[in-house]
Amino acid sequence: MSQQQISFEERMAHSEFRVHERAHIVVDGKVCAECSTTECVTACPANLFVPTAAGGIVFNYEQCFECGTCYLVCNKEGAISWSYPEGGHGIVFQRT
Amino acid sequence: MSTDFDAIVVGAGPAGSCAAIVLARAGKRVALIERGPFAGSKNMYGGVVYPRILDELIPNWWEEAPIQRWVTRRSTMLLTDTQALTIDFRSQNWGAPPYNGATAYRPDFDAWLADHAVAAGAVLVTSTTVTGLIRHTNGAVTGVHTDRPDGDLTAPIVIACDGVNSFLAKEAGLYPDVDADNYTLGVKETISLPKETIDERFAVTDREGVDIEILGGTNGVNGGGFVYTQLDTVAVGVVLKLSKLAAQKTRPEQILAKLKAHPAIAPLIKGGEIKEYSAHVIPEAGYEMMPKLTADGLMVAGDAAAMCLAAGIWLEGVNFAMASGMYAGEAAVEAIESGNCNASGLAGYRKRLENTFVLQDHKKLRHAPHLVLSDRVQHLYPQMVANLVERMFTVDNPKPKPGIRRILKQERKRAGVKLSDLARDGWTGFRSFG
C-alpha cells in the first residue's frame, strides 16, 4: 500500500506515547453539547475529539502531541481544560 | 534568604539550554527542568536550524552538532492545484565551514545543546513538569512548583522557556489575551528513503541538503508547506492557520495527504515509508503577539515569548530561541550579581534583544506574518502569477506572442486582484523585506 493512503491508526502507530493514568485533557460535556462548530474535531492533529450521535464529544488523551491546538481553537469558555502530562509521560519524538 | 538555585530555567529546548549554559559558565547554580524524558523529546519543527549565533557559545559547533544535512539548495515554491513555480537557489558555500542552515532532528539537536549546559555545570532535571510559579507576597517570582513529591524549587530568577503554550508566562499575566489567529499548526511526516534515492531526487551529494518552502498546496487553508531532506528521510509538512483550519472541515492529515499527492511533490517521496508523524503549534504572529518579556524574578524566552519568525521568505525560530535564551542568561547573571532580580534588574534582557537581530528583525518584519498569511497572498496572487507564467511559456501558434504587460493586466483582472490592493501589499512587503 502506498504511504499516501495509510489509515489514521497506521499513521499514529509510529509515534511513541508514554501514557500516564491521569488524563491531562478534561472536556466538559455539558459545554460541548451546546457547541455546533466543533473546531476541535477538525483541527486536532491526533484526531482525539470525536462527535457522538447524541451531539456530544468523546475524547481520549492517550495519543496527544501536546500541541495545544484544541484549547486554542475552542470557542466555548471552559469546555477544554488542558495541562501538560506528568513529567516523563506523553509524546516522545524520535532520536536517530 | 537561601535558595535552592541562583536561577531556574524551565524547558530544555534551544532557549533554555542556552540560558543555562551562560549561567553555569558564570559560576551560577542553575537548574534546567525538562518535562520530557530527555531534552528535545517534546520538540519538532518545520525544518531548518541556523546556528550562527552559537559561534559565541560553542566555537566550531559544526564539528560536533548532530546535523543531518547542510542546506545547499533552498527553493521557494508556489503551488496551485495544477501548477508549480519554483525559485531554486544553490550555493556550495553553504556546504562548507562555517556553514549556514542545516537539517537536524530536534530530539538530537536539543539533547546535544542540553549536554553542553550539563558540561558547564547546570543541573538537568528531566521527566519533571513544572506546574506553577512560586511567588512572594509582593508578587515576585521566587521559584516553581513541580510534579515531583516535595518538588518545589526556589531561586531569585526563573527563566520560562516552556514553549509556545507557556503556561508560566500566562500565569504571570504576561500574555494579555490569547488569540487563535496568532497561531498556526504544523503537521509533518518523516518519510524513510534510501540516502542514494534522496541524493538523486533532490540533486545533492554527501551531506548536502535541500529546503523547499511552499506557498499554496494547503487546500485553501491559509498557511504553507515544506519539504526538506535528512540523511535517509524526507520531511513533508504543512503549516495551517488555526482559525482558518478550524473553520473548514478538512483535517490536517488530509491536507497534508493532498500536498503529498501534488504532481510536484509526489515523485520526491514515492515509495517512502512513514517513520514518524508529528505536530506542534507555532507562535506565527511574531512581534505583534509578543508578551511582556520580564516581571519581577521572571524572564520569558524562545517560543514562550513568541520569538519564532514566520516572515515568508525567512522562516526561523531555533536561532531566535537560542539567542533570546543566551541574552536572558546574561541578564540573569547581571541581575544576580547586582542583587536586583526585579523587573528593573532584569532590564538588560530586553536591551540585549533590542540591540541584536532578535528584536530588530522582529520589529522590522512585524507586518510580514500577517501579509504572508493574508487571503490575497494566500489565494489570489499565487493563481495570478502561475497563470501569468503559464501563458508566457505557452506557445499559442499561429497566434503571435502576447506582451507580458497585457497578460499581467488580464490575469490580474481574472484573479480579481485590485490594483489598489496590489499596491498596498507591495508597499507592505517592500517596507518589511526591503
pLDDT in tens, B314-350: 999 999 999 999 999 999 999 999 999 999 999 999 9
B91 touches chain A (CB under 8 A): no
Mean pLDDT of B111-132: 98
The pLDDT, as a whole number, for residue B1 is: 65
CA dihedral B15, B17, B21, B22 (to 10 degrees): 20
CA distance linking residue B94 with residue B303, whole number of Å: 27
Q: Does domain B181-283 have CATH number 3.50.50.60?
A: no
CA distance B151 to chain A (A): 12
CA distance A9 to chain B (A): 11
B153 strand-pairing partners? B144
Residues of A in contact with B36 (CB under 8 A): 88, 90, 92
Q: Give the distance from CA B162 to its chain's centroid.
A: 15
From chain A, which residues contact B within 8 Å (Cβ)? 3-6, 8, 10-12, 14-15, 18, 37, 39-40, 42-43, 45-47, 65-69, 72-73, 83-88, 90-96
Residues of B in contact with A14 (CB under 8 A): 274-277
* Residue B141 near residue B159 (C-beta atoms within 8 A): no
User: Closest partner residue to A92 among B37, B269, B277, by Cβ?
Assistant: B37
Residue ranges per domain, chain B? 7-68+104-176+291-364, 181-283, 374-433
CA distance linking residue A47 with residue B202, whole number of Å: 33
> What is the biggest distance separating any 2 CA atoms in chain B, rounded to whole angstroms?
89
- The ipTM, to two decimals, is 0.95
CA distance linking residue B395 with residue B359, whole number of Å: 49
Compute the mean pLDDT over every residue in chain B, rounded to the nearest whole number.
96
Higher pLDDT, B178 or B186: B186
Q: Which residues of B45-54 are buried (b: 16+ CB within 10 A; e: fewer)?
A: bbbbbbbebb
The pLDDT, as a whole number, for residue B25 is: 98
Mean pLDDT of B239-245: 96
Residues of A in contact with B274 (CB under 8 A): 3, 6, 10-11, 14
B192 touches chain A (CB under 8 A): no
* pLDDT over 60 at A3, yes or no: no
* Residue A1 near residue A23 (C-beta atoms within 8 A): no
What are the DSSP E strand ranges found in chain A?
16-18, 25-27, 49-51, 57-59, 80-82, 90-92
The pLDDT, as a whole number, for residue B122 is: 98
The pLDDT, as a whole number, for residue A1 is: 37
In the stretch 270-299 of chain B, residues with CB closer than 8 A to chain A read 272-281
Residue recorded with cell 504587460:
B405
- What is the topology classification, in CATH, of domain B7-68+104-176+291-364? FAD/NAD(P)-binding domain (3.50.50)
* Residue B223 near residue B240 (C-beta atoms within 8 A): yes
Q: A37 vs B246: CB contact, 8 Å cut-off?
A: yes
Residues of B in contact with A39 (CB under 8 A): 246-247
What confidence tens digit (pLDDT) does each residue in A21-62 have?
A: 999 999 998 898 888 889 999 999 999 999 888 888 889 999
CA distance linking residue B321 with residue B305, whole number of Å: 9
Residues of B in contact with A45 (CB under 8 A): 185, 187, 252-253, 279
CA distance linking residue B181 with residue B192, whole number of Å: 34
CA distance linking residue B218 with residue B80, whole number of Å: 9
Q: A45 vs B40: CB contact, 8 Å cut-off?
A: no
* pLDDT over 70 at A2, yes or no: no
CA distance B337 to chain A (A): 32
Closest CA to B293 of B259, B318, B327: B327
Tell me the H-state helices in chain A: 8-12, 29-33, 39-43, 69-73
The amino acid at residue B191 is: I
Least confident window among B112-116, B174-178, B286-290: B174-178
User: Closest partner residue to A69 among B36, B40, B185, by Cβ?
Assistant: B185
- Structural domains of chain A, with CATH: 3-92 (3.30.70.20)
Residues of A in contact with B68 (CB under 8 A): 96
